[in-house]
Amino acid sequence: MPADSPRDDTASTPKQRAAVRSWPMRILLWSGGAAVAGALSALAIAGVALAVAYPNLPDISELQNYRPKLPLRIYSADGQLLGEFGEERRNLTPFAQIPAVMKNAVLSIEDARFYEHSGVDYKGMLRAAVANLGRAKSQGASTITMQVARNVYLSSEKTFTRKLYEVLLTFKLEHLLSKDQILEIYMNQIYLGNRAYGFAAAAETYFGKPMKDLTVAEAAMLAGLPKAPSAYNPISNPSRARARQQYIIERMEENGFITAAQAEAARHQELKIRPANDHGHTHAEYVAETVRQLVYAQYGEDAYTRGLNVVTSINASRQEAAYKALRKGIMDYEKRQIYRGPEEFVELPSNRKDLEEAIDDALTEHPDNGDVMAAVVLEANPKKIVAVRQNAERFEITGEGLRAAQSGLSPKAPPKTHIRPGAVIRVMFNTAKNSWEITQLPEVEGAFVALDPRNGSVQALVGGFDFYKNKFNHVTQAWRQPGSGFKPFIYSAALEKGFTPSTVVNDGPLFFDAGVTGGQPWEPKNYDGKFEGPMPLHEALAKSKNMVSIRILQAVGPQNAQDWITRFGFEADKHPAYLTMALGAGSVTPMQMATGYSVFANGGYRVNPWLISKIVDHRGKVLVETQPPLPTEAMRAIDARNAFVMDRLLNEVARSGTAASASRILKRTDLYGKTGTTNDSIDTWFNGFHQSLVAIVWMGYDNPRPLGDRETGGSMSLPVWINFMETALKGVPETTPTAPAGVVNVGGEWYFDEYAPGAGAGVSSLGLNTAASSDPAPASAPGGEVGVTPTAPLVPVVPLTPVNGPRPPDRSLQNADGQPPQRPVEERRSILDLFRN
């Protein structure tokens, strides 16, 4: 080719063309080598990481016997849940008992390929990576096994080290446990909000039902909680919870767990979510707290984590009846009180959103108290109130519903009590009238306790109006004056002194000046201020005559009576040997009154109250168990004859005396009891029983003050007792007590053999010649001789140890052999003991 010829750039030699073709191969080989080197480096790094991390993995062998923290649960005798204590509410459920609908809902949303992968779902990870492209918020790809590893052993921090441990633990779990075991742990361990751990606890928390009864819609709602328990909480975020529920139903259908028809039905099912303040079980908060204290004293902090189940003596239906009866009695009393005004006043913004927030804030600070609910007034005039509750429900109160607050609706009402827009008030819904009515939170308190007198088992106990408002247990902790409810124990002592139901005692005035009393002059009165003159003992008790009780105590002797009442469980030092003891001026607890009246109800035996019958662990192993004690002669407190005659007297009180409405309303003749009202109506009581059930009701203010001139044990406490007994004695046949040996019926009245008419040994009359005196003559010693009719005013105090030597033995309080009666057996000193006198 000539030198000046154009160069042909396309021409090349075979060697050159081969060199050109080798560059792609070199690049490919170089890239492959780099990849292999990178992989080897990654493997080397991973190997080093594994070598370092694997030995530091926690020992997971304990999961083969999975035992999470389980709360302390307290049950009634008939299996109803009364209370639960522990940081984690959990009901451990074996895999076989978890319903398929719950498993399928969880698998559909959390890990549909759970039974296909080996712990790490690579397809799921790839799918999540693709889905996350272009998103600011990542989509997770954790399997159920990975979640178990994280929830049981690791924190939730997002670091490479934690993720490495999570993956390693996942492989370890898959190697050690079966898929069913892993899923069982997950279903029991996962936190689902509102202190609920595991789906069994969540079913109770959110729907108030066992997990086995969940529907598809309910299971789907619960399955949405693990991702974010607060965000998808059906109580606090119902709209977001429902949106996620609908998505899960769709996933369940896509995965073939439910049919199209089932999915459609689930989408439209209306769910009934339990409110946050609805505990869903029998109201026995005071019982549960008492048991908690006892169990904690025995087991310490382990009581809240080892899954102890405590069975009590409580009867659930009777407990609920007692709770409702006491609350109704207190609220009925509250309706008779002057309206004290709204609890608070809040500003109501004109902007709708701001208004809703202001109302929510106000009602959050004033939570509902059972059926006594809080509301904010939007409009108010003397004829109508428009108010709103926390669920944004608007309602009107008119007519009779305004009666309790008429003074607060008057335009002339003081600013503090005036009901106006922005006022926070209390309302109740009257189901009988299908209307709302205004009310107020009560200031008065109450107590209710019921025992089975045959063995001392506590059947119902309500320590106050509301445990969350006032945790003070008035049944066991409140020392109050018993008033006339204490008279039967004085009458019981009198029977041993020769008194009979027919003994005539003068209901005439008495006066004691300071020289006799050693203090203030004392002129006792009957409640109604009237004196009716001579009357038989049984009528005097039925009418609760104070003058008669004082004369009886003088004849018995205050010291003798003080000794006598200890047989019933009362403490002598709480009842000084003064004549005021006859009117109930000492101090008792409602539980002591229940113990005392049980002696009359069971034929004369002293039984100690008890509450815990059995404690078992989560495996069902019995740790503690007791059998109800049967009365024996070692437990005898008073003679059977004494108890029988006292029952006759107390029956008259309930049939024709101050508690006559009991027999009339309940339409029974086998009821017994005694009303009690202290000076100025500071304490009101009703202490009553059937032979199978003793029930005590007390009402009063924590800081003692008068309840009102017209308030008595018969008007306040007796209605509560009747309300309870309507439920408690339903289906219980009427009983007639059997007369014990040593009593005789003469003319329709019962007497001890030796004191019967004609025997000549009983006290026929007392105080018939006693006149009121402002300057009484020196008193004789308290009557100990039978048949004596004292003629002098009664000495208010008898020295414990007379100056002339020890007090002689009182033969009327001894057994036939001249020895003192055997005292009740020592109380049990184990965890099964609840109340100690």
- Catalytic-role residue among 84, 110, 285, 334: 110
Chain centroid to Cα 95, Å, comes to 32
Going from the C-alpha of 189 to that of each of 204, 206, 218, 270, 279, the distances in angstroms are 15, 17, 19, 28, 22
Going from the C-alpha of 367 to that of each of 389, 468, 686, the distances in angstroms are 11, 11, 32
633 catalytically annotated? no
Secondary structure (3-state) at 8: coil
Burial label, 820 (beta-carbon count in 10 A; 0-12, 13-18, 19+):
exposed
Residue 242's nearest CA partner among 258, 216, 224 is 224
Largest interatomic CA distance in the chain: 171
Orientation angle between helical segments 216-223 and 199-207, nearest 10 degrees: 110
Going from the C-alpha of 624 to that of each of 295, 296, 310, 618, the distances in angstroms are 11, 14, 9, 13
- Catalytic-role residue among 142, 313, 484, 717: 484
In this structure, the number of other CB atoms found within 10 A of the CB of residue 628 comes to: 13
Distance CA 174, CA 103 (A): 19
DSSP calls for 761-817: -S--EESTT----SSPPPPPPPP-STT----SPPPSB--SS-TTSSPPP-GGGS-TT
443 catalytically annotated? no
Residue 695's nearest CA partner among 609, 756, 634, 774 is 609
Are 517 and 542 spatial neighbours (Cβ–Cβ below 8 Å)?
Answer: no
Distance CA 238, CA 233 (A): 7
Which residue is listed with tokens 């008193």? 779
Would you state the structure tokens that stand for residue 96, as one six-digit string? Answer: 């076989």
Distance CA 102, CA 325 (A): 40
Distance CA 161, CA 36 (A): 25
Instruction: DSSP letter for 566, please.
Output: G
Q: Return the H-helix or E-strand segment holding 654.
A: helix 640-656
DSSP calls for 517-533: HSSS-B----TTS---E
Q: Return the H-helix or E-strand segment holding 309.
A: strand 309-312
Would you state the structure tokens that stand for residue 718, as one six-digit string? Answer: 């007796």
Distance CA 769, CA 198 (A): 79
Instruction: DSSP letter for 351, please.
Output: S
Instruction: DSSP letter for 675, please.
Output: E
Going from the C-alpha of 293 to that of each of 81, 84, 91, 139, 191, the distances in angstroms are 17, 13, 22, 47, 27
Are 669 and 663 spatial neighbours (Cβ–Cβ below 8 Å)?
Answer: yes
Helix, strand, coil fractions of the chain, as percent rounded to 5: 40, 15, 45
In this structure, the number of other CB atoms found within 10 A of the CB of residue 106 comes to: 25
Secondary structure (3-state) at 380: strand
Distance CA 215, CA 271 (A): 10
The size of the chain, in residues, is: 837
Residue 675's nearest CA partner among 694, 705, 697 is 697
Angle (nearest 5°) at CA 380 between 377 and 382: 140
Distance CA 387, CA 233 (A): 28
- So which residues are the catalytic ones? 110, 484
